Structure 1
Amino acid sequence: MRAEATSSDGQPLFIRLAASDVSQLSAHAGRSSSSSRVVALSISIPLSVAVLSCLFIGAWFIHRRRRRLLEKFVKDGTPTSLSTFTYKEMKIATNNFAQKLGKGAFGSVFKGILPNKTLVAVKRLEVSAQAEKQFRAEISTIGNINHVNLVRLRGFCVDGSERMLVYEFMQNGSLNNFLSRRSKEADKVLDWNTRFGIALGTAKGLLYLHEECRDRIIHCDIKPENILLDADFSPKVADFGLAKLVGRDFSRVLTTTRGTRGYLAPEWLTGVPITVKVDVYSFGMTLLEIISGRRNIDYRVQESQYYFPTWAAIQIQKGNTIGIVDERIADKADIEEVRRAVVVSILCIQEDENGRPSMAQVVQILEGKSEGNVAKYERRLQALIDDHCVY
């Protein structure tokens, strides 16, 4: 048999070989190829096992780290149902915190999307002792409760100095955006039906906090900024950073002043132990804003020198109840629902906390199942008109 090869000068070189020699060469080449595959497998298999082992061990350490973080918070009453996230996961979810939804006293809120395509709102807190305190308060309160009119906490992030809270996303933002005439949503006027639904839903959320969940919870900061609206404008009470848990065996708790000017009940200023009635007062002030489309924190309305509730009381005494309704929707408002809402708001903002209704009574009045205390209502109206006071 003749075999062809190439000489050193590039010319073909023919060599005559016996058939038996060619067979031996082919067998040798086959053995070399097999040997190479064996060597490759002997290297790749252990390497793959090592890589997989490293990945497994890394995942196990991450899981253990998260569990330790969770166990640390569980000691403070944190539910194990909450998800824990890393800073890297939150950075990816928020596209490096690109879309800011709002800013509060202790941090900013960003829009995010989880790997399962769920939209979330991520509150990234500042690094401070007060922010840490609010972070823990939020987890220990709203993390343990579930109600259609309370914002849902999905999880949190504790990673180095980073503290973040992950909430369900509320498409329409806060009620404040629709009441402040300087906001970007100012041209989107809420009709009366929507406003009344927001008032009733908020009242039901507070009723749950005060009377129906395991521990009585005083929110301490009810105001339009802390009432969020979903795609259907259903309200959800949010921001539990100032909330106070009260055991069922107690009705009062001593605490430092919390809340926002314009919504603070008078007892906050006296330093006495507070009750759930501070939320009732704040709700009453918020309800007046919902009805009128005006912010009470400005204290004076354009056409009057009086304190906001005083101005409202004067309109009511004149028989002009519909006059305190936002003029942009007054002609389409349900006068009976307006009357009920006004009765509730005036009863709620009484100076004497014992005279204020409970949230259960508030819900009943709004739903038309109770008339409320008419005598107290009339006395409070007269007191507002006589005092012309500013709290």
Structure 2
Amino acid sequence: MTLSSFLCLVFIFQFLFTSPSLSLSSDGLALLALKSAVDEPSAAAFSDWNNGDPTPCGWSGIACTNISGEAEPRVVGISLAGKSLSGYLPSELGTLRFLRRLNLHDNAFSGVLPAQLSNATALHSLFLHGNNLSGAIPSSLCTLPRLQNLDLSKNAFSGHIPEHLKNCKNLQRLVLAGNKFSGEIPAGVWPDLRNLLQLDLSDNELTGSIPGEIGTLISLSGTLNLSFNHLSGKIPASLGKLPATVSYDLKNNNLSGEIPQTGSFSNQGPTAFLGNPDLCGFPLRKSCSGLDRNFSPGSDQNKPGNGNRSKGLSPGLIILISAADAAVVAFIGLVIVYIYWKRKDDENACSCIRKRSFGEEKGNMCVCGGLSCVGGVKSDDDEEEEYEGGEGEGEGELVRIDKGLSFELDELLRASAYVLGKSGLGIVYKVVLGNGVPVAVRRLGEGGEQRYKEFAAEVMAIGKVKHPNVVRLRAYYWAHDEKLLISDFISNGNLTHALRGRHGQPSTNLSWSTRLRITKGTARGLAYLHECSPRKFVHGDIKPSNILLDNDFQPYISDFGLNRLISITGNNPSTGGFMGGALPYMNSSQKERTNSYKAPEARVPGCRPTQKWDVYSFGVVLLEILTGRSPESSPTTSTSMEVPDLVKWVRKGFDQESPLSEMVDPSLLQEVRVKKEVLAVFHVALSCTEGDPEARPRMKTVSENLDKIGT
């Protein structure tokens, strides 16, 4: 052996046994391949990636865990998002057998997605959005048995959307938006993806029609986004079979025909269909003509001899319309005559007037044309006279809206009153009547003397709302110097106290079943106000302090319609109100900051409240019930239970797939059996808190979806 050969052999042995890189674990060596594949690696991203370490578990962006049967911790997560890294993805990443999450989004990686990633059989989440990756999706990707989240959006992937995606049977999120995919959406993929929660194929170059098989995605939630493509043809009616919580985004395509009116289509707003000039029908303002809707090549309408059948009106129909017009004119005449004689009779009437403030002791008696009333008491049978009276009528009168609650004004004024709450919506007292029944009495103010009719009409509309989850208004009193609302007294405080305790300590009574009961009842009450109440009320101020609870933790919505009444009486409404509730006095430093519960569009001054405002606020309340965290933020105090933007915090947790234990109220963690129910309510809450009002469901839909949970 020559001397040079001997020295070479010595060098090789020395390298093998003393090289520090060989002390690194196999997972660490695979990660060094990633570091080498990055162009001019950022010092901040790889500064502590030292090849002399025994394991990579202390490196930035690397997560490890102990695996049963393994001698050392194994790499389960790579998170290097938003590091401005460029280069390519090395095939060595596939050797990380226990890798679960690969999070490299918002960088500048280019090249293709290596097919060898399929060797990382534990991989369940692949977040590569916001890079410059190109080529096709490798067919081997769906051999990953646990793949649940695939987000390849905002890259340069091209070709057809592959049929082999149907093999990703555990896939929950498929986001391919913002690429260069072309061709038709394959029909055979979707029936096999029974677990898919999110589908986003927007901003590509897709053509052809929307496959009706997408309607088989029974687990879909959130938004089905097919916008900004070149899709054409009619919208398949089978999409209406998707869950009611699904919102559509089909805008900026070439779709045509009438929008289906079945199933989940009834919950969509117009923004879902904009940018399709040939679409018509509800909710767009472009109607479909009868000819366009019913035309078909073989229909009777197109046969000879039928062309004039729809032209003009038949003589019989003309006679019927004329008779109806005459009947309407006669009816209007009778109404005018009735009002004239009614007012003539009212000129000789008198009213029972009281001019005492709430809390005085004596009543009075007056007799007017054979009608006696103590303290000016009237019942809802006299509602018609209320509206027909003159400007002075109604002064000093106690009007009972509900006959079931029998009491006299003197009885109310003599009873002891306890202050429950005080705000810009008036002072609220607890009053126990002579029969032992407690009521809540709100003093509204002293103004509005000239607007009695308007006030009475508003109160009567509120009084007609009768629902087991809405506080009942029982009576009201009007005088120049006193205006009172009498409602049911709800004995167990409100949801704020139930969640946080009366002194900032969380309640121990709110089990999951109790919280679910509160959410369902509140949703039913709010849906009733929106859909079934006489005025289709918008509450405008849904928050935990306006959700009252009885001793069985049944919820009651309070304070709807009060802002309007306050404006009539001339006072300035504020955000606090406690109609019917058992609430302590709150000083200005303790008042709830309601901006955290308001929808984004509701925070713009001068905007008119809408029902979608209430849906958003209810969604925030749901998140507070689920997390136990308050969306309030105090400028002077901060606790771990306060989150300045609860909605963003929860959405970030779901985007990053944070463990449920990090988001849910710790007191619920022991109730393992309800994990599926908790997740279902989270999804409802997130749909309610969509930033786009049109993307939020109707409250009726929210209530129906909550009622399905836990049954």
TM range (shorter): 0.5 to 0.7
Identify the match of residue 492 of structure 2 among 172, 179, 201: 172
Tell me if 1:264 matches 2:598: yes
Once residues 316 and 304 of structure 1 are traced to their aligned partners in structure 2, the CA distance between those partners, rounded to angstroms, is: 19
Partner of 1:248: none
Tell me if 1:355 matches 2:684: no
Tell me if 1:310 matches 2:629: no
Q: Which secondary structure does the structure 2 equivalent of 1:218 belong to?
A: coil
Partner of 2:521: 201
Tell whether the 8 Å contact from 1:124 to 1:163 is kept in structure 2 after alignment. Answer: yes
Report the AA paired with residue 296 of structure 1.
P
Partner of 1:277: 612
Partner of 2:360: none
Partner of 1:331: 670
Partner of 1:221: 541
Tell whether the 8 Å contact from 2:633 to 2:642 is kept in structure 1 after alignment. Answer: no
Tell whether the 8 Å contact from 1:79 to 1:144 is kept in structure 2 after alignment. Answer: no
Report the AA paired with residue 177 of structure 1.
H
Once residues 267 and 73 of structure 1 are traced to their aligned partners in structure 2, the CA distance between those partners, rounded to angstroms, is: 38
CA distance change for structure 1 residues 304 and 153 in 2, over 3 Å: closer, same or farther?
closer
Once residues 329 and 274 of structure 1 are traced to their aligned partners in structure 2, the CA distance between those partners, rounded to angstroms, is: 35
Tell whether the 8 Å contact from 2:462 to 2:561 is kept in structure 1 after alignment. Answer: no
Partner of 1:125: 444
Report the AA paired with residue 503 of structure 2.
S
Once residues 85 and 202 of structure 1 are traced to their aligned partners in structure 2, the CA distance between those partners, rounded to angstroms, is: 30
- Percent identity over the alignment is 33
CA distance change for structure 1 residues 304 and 112 in 2, over 3 Å: closer, same or farther?
closer
Question: Structure 1: any 5+ residue segments left out of the alignment?
Answer: 1-53, 246-255, 371-391
1:1-391 correspondence runs (5 A):
57=367, 60-63=371-374, 65-67=376-378, 74=387, 81=402, 88-93=410-415, 95=416, 97=417, 99-128=418-447, 139-181=459-501, 183=503, 186-242=506-562, 260-270=594-604, 271-298=606-633, 302=640, 307-317=645-655, 318-332=657-671, 334-368=674-708
Report the AA paired with residue 314 of structure 1.
K
Tell whether the 8 Å contact from 2:624 to 2:630 is kept in structure 1 after alignment. Answer: yes
Once residues 355 and 176 of structure 1 are traced to their aligned partners in structure 2, the CA distance between those partners, rounded to angstroms, is: 28
CA distance change for structure 1 residues 72 and 340 in 2, over 3 Å: closer, same or farther?
farther
Once residues 669 and 487 of structure 2 are traced to their aligned partners in structure 1, the CA distance between those partners, rounded to angstroms, is: 35
Tell whether the 8 Å contact from 2:630 to 2:642 is kept in structure 1 after alignment. Answer: no
Segment of structure 1 superposing worse, 222-231 or 326-335: 326-335
Tell whether the 8 Å contact from 2:424 to 2:573 is kept in structure 1 after alignment. Answer: no
Tell whether the 8 Å contact from 1:218 to 1:279 is kept in structure 2 after alignment. Answer: yes
Shift of 1:204: 0.5
Q: Which secondary structure does the structure 1 equivalent of 2:666 belong to?
A: coil
Shift of 1:223: 0.6
Residues 99-143 of structure 1, C-alpha deviations (whole Å, 9 max, x = no match):
22223322222222223332212222333559x999768624420
**Which structure carries more helix by proportion?**
1
Shift of 1:306: 6.0
Q: Which secondary structure does the structure 1 equivalent of 2:685 belong to?
A: helix
CA distance change for structure 1 residues 113 and 305 in 2, over 3 Å: closer, same or farther?
closer
Tell whether the 8 Å contact from 2:375 to 2:409 is kept in structure 1 after alignment. Answer: no
Tell whether the 8 Å contact from 1:195 to 1:290 is kept in structure 2 after alignment. Answer: yes
Partner of 2:122: none
TM-score of the pair, normalised by structure 2 = 0.38
CA distance change for structure 1 residues 281 and 316 in 2, over 3 Å: closer, same or farther?
same
Segment of structure 1 superposing worse, 108-117 or 133-142: 133-142
Q: Which secondary structure does the structure 2 equivalent of 1:147 belong to?
A: coil
Q: Which secondary structure does the structure 1 equivalent of 2:468 belong to?
A: coil
CA distance change for structure 1 residues 197 and 124 in 2, over 3 Å: closer, same or farther?
same
Segment of structure 1 superposing worse, 187-196 or 288-297: 187-196
Report the AA paired with residue 172 of structure 1.
N
Once residues 698 and 683 of structure 2 are traced to their aligned partners in structure 1, the CA distance between those partners, rounded to angstroms, is: 14
Shift of 1:81: 3.9
CA distance change for structure 1 residues 363 and 106 in 2, over 3 Å: closer, same or farther?
closer
CA distance change for structure 1 residues 348 and 72 in 2, over 3 Å: closer, same or farther?
farther
Once residues 688 and 615 of structure 2 are traced to their aligned partners in structure 1, the CA distance between those partners, rounded to angstroms, is: 6
Once residues 217 and 314 of structure 1 are traced to their aligned partners in structure 2, the CA distance between those partners, rounded to angstroms, is: 33
